[in-house]
A and B are shown apart, each in its own frame.
Chain A
Amino acid sequence: MATTSDRTTDRSRRGTLATYRRRIRHGFAIAEGGDPGGLEAVLDAQVALDVLDPTTGARVDGIARCERVVALAFAAADRGDVRGLALVLRAQGLILDLYALVRTELIDDKGAT
């Protein structure tokens, strides 16, 4: 049975996750306003989420976010902003890591059944 301490820890964890998701939302809004600096904040928050929520579902969400970062960062690079290229590369690096983890987890799941 969950103790009061467990419930407090769980509430605190959910609060932290919500904070990072808000940062992601805010970062995307900044990037859509034309400042690719918002994407840096999105990737920082995503890295934190990867640690806090190491589930396959969360990783799939992370891949989708990084793919959107790639699209927005490419648009910034098209406008001549060199930060865009660095951001595409960083997001692609994260996508590769997340893909590898999801595949491994799916293989493990299938092996276990």
Chain B
Amino acid sequence: MSAPSGRQKQPNAHARERTAAQLQRQERVFALSVLDGRTHREIAKELGLDRGTVARDLRAEAERRSEEIAERREVEHATQLALVDNLFYRSMEMAHTAGAGGLAAAAKALEMRSRLLGLDQAVKLDTGLEGLLKALDAD
């Protein structure tokens, strides 16, 4: 791996420059904007910030999250797999009381598990037929 040049942006450089309190604030700003659908003006008023700070916090948090997504691929994959397994067992349990709804959810969980493990990909099978045809041609 090549050493990063001085001009290149370091991963999480922005996050490292920020204090814990600032990171906590930017997470709160992000939640209010993305999850609660508040405008920049509403967030600024509620948290006593200026609108420029709100905009900067939102950019910084989005950047931090996208870097985290890129860096934590294996961990996320394992977490998703554990969650889907948990869902499968819960769905099967619920099938006793909720019937078809529980079974449908269990089937969907299995489908997602296959997708996570890459089992839904097309696989080229070697049936040996090609070799047999070549051998027949040679004869």
Contact = CB atoms under 8 A, between A and B. Distances in A.
Contacts of B23: none
- Place the interface of chain B in its size category: 20 to 34
B55 interface: no
Interface in B81-106: 83-84, 87, 90-91, 94, 97-98, 101-102, 104-105
B34 interface: yes
B65 interface: yes
Interface residues of A, number: 32
Contact of A64 (B65, B80, B87, B109): B65
Contacts of B70: 102-103, 106-107
Contact of A86 (B8, B36, B80, B105): B105
B99 to A, nearest CB: 9
B83 A92 contact: yes
Given A86-B101, A86-B108, A96-B116, A106 B66 contact: yes
Contacts, number: 79
A85 B87 contact: yes
B112 A64 contact: no
B62 interface: yes
Nearest to A21: B37
Contact of A63 (B69, B101, B104): B69
Given A86-B104, A89-B109, A63 B65 contact: yes
Q: Is the interface of B mostly helix, strand, loop or mixed?
A: helix
Q: Which of A28, A82, A86 has the most CB of B within 10 A?
A: A82
Given A68-B35, A92-B84, A102-B69, A85 B91 contact: yes
A30 interface: no
Contacts of B116: 96
5 contacts: A21-B37, A25-B36, A93-B112, A99-B69, A103-B70
Given A28-B36, A57-B66, A63-B69, 7 more contacts: A61-B34, A64-B34, A85-B87, A85-B90, A86-B104, A92-B87, A96-B115
